[in-house]
Structure 1
């Protein structure tokens, strides 16, 4: 009886690393992305545009503050930087609501929006920890037509930010 228990324990210990490598990984539960208008990672998650691993973790596009890339400098999500991938363009008004879906509550310094090669909006949260959603009214000013909007969530207590690109057509 004792030998059987030891054998079972040895088999279990030997199988654990194999199971950890072969079982599918769960989705990372962290951070956030623009859900509406649908960001590139939201389109990936919904299966609208075929993408790599970002499909399973649209909230994970994190990188150092100050980047101007849709992927946040993360090579695993480089597809988000490809402007020719067939992203759906959402028609929007001159003033549009951008809705973030957050899966982790980080202390926030600022939210920034860039289009047409310049910053078009910034919202200062002064270190607040937002809930599960955040909405900003962004005014595009004189911009019209097709634009790629880079939305950035700057975290107050880390050197990182979260990035999302949204393809819009301003009416």
Structure 2
């Protein structure tokens, strides 16, 4: 009896973790033929899944979880787990499980924006936070200091692109205050 109950619970947990995220575009997110998307709703995350990522404008891992981009590896089922050491400049956080997020040959959809962009983070674990940093290339364009406080979800930051135009890849980094880790999220924009 015990082993049958244990197997049933284990199977239920496996199904909950493996279930694809129901990320559907909102009513105002009508992709054009140029692969433009402005928002993907956040998934209903269970207690087994932790951490965070940018849901709007949709990050690369949000696009993968919504199946708008194929062959993303673990980013399809775990968009919130893109974690690596602090100080990196890679969409994957240099995490081998998420290297597909660094692949610039993929047709990453873009979101059309103006000079000011509002980024929305979905957090499933409110870690005490040092800073939230935003980069284009190796240039930090914004920093928000949380001074070690635990954030509440959603976290919203408004960032000025400082007049940059064209196709832009913004790397957002959530630096955890009390560990050596950070969470990474890249967003493809068109201005």
TM-score, normalized by length of structure 2? 0.76
Structure 1 stretch displaced more, 114-123 or 57-66: 114-123
Aligned partner of 1:126 in structure 2 is: 147
**8 Å contact kept, 2:89–2:138:** no
- Count of residues in Structure 1 that have an aligned counterpart in Structure 2: 156
Q: Once superposed, which parts of structure 1, at least 4 consecutive aligned residues long, lie more than 3 Å away?
A: none
Equivalent residue in structure 1 for 2:116, among 80, 95, 98: 95
Aligned to 2:174: 153
How many angstroms does 1:144 deviate by?
A: 0.8
Once the two structures are superposed, what CA deviation does each residue of 1:99-124 show, in whole Å capped at 9, x if it has no partner?
A: 10000000000000001431100000
Choose the corresponding residue for 1:41, options 56, 61, 64: 61
Residue by residue over 1:87-139, the C-alpha shift from the partner in whole angstroms, topping out at 9 and shown as x without a partner, is: 10111110110110000000000000001431100000001111121000100
- Using the TM superposition, give the Cα deviation of residue 24 of structure 1 relative to its aligned residue in structure 2, in angstroms: 5.1
If asked which structure has higher relative contact order (CA below 8 Å, sep 6+), I would say 1
Aligned CA RMSD, in angstroms, stands at 1.9
2:102 to 73, 81, 95: 81
The answer as to 2:101 corresponding to 1:110 is no
Unmatched tracts of structure 1, length 5 or more: 1-7
- Max Rg structure: 1
Give the Cα separation in 1 of the matches to 2:124 and 2:96. 22
Q: Deviations over 1:32-78 (max 9, x none)?
A: 00000000000011111112221111000001000100001111110
User: Aligned residue for 1:4?
Assistant: none
**Which residue does the alignment assign to 2:82?**
61
Considering fraction of residues, name the structure with more helix. Answer: 1
Task: Determine if contact 1:152/1:163 at 8 Å carries over to the other structure.
Answer: yes
Aligned: 1:144 with 2:165: yes
Contact 1:114 1:151 in 2 (8 A): yes
Task: Supply the distance in 2 between the matched residues of 1:142 and 1:71 (Cα, whole angstroms).
Answer: 27
Structure 2 unaligned segments of length 5 or more: list them.
19-47
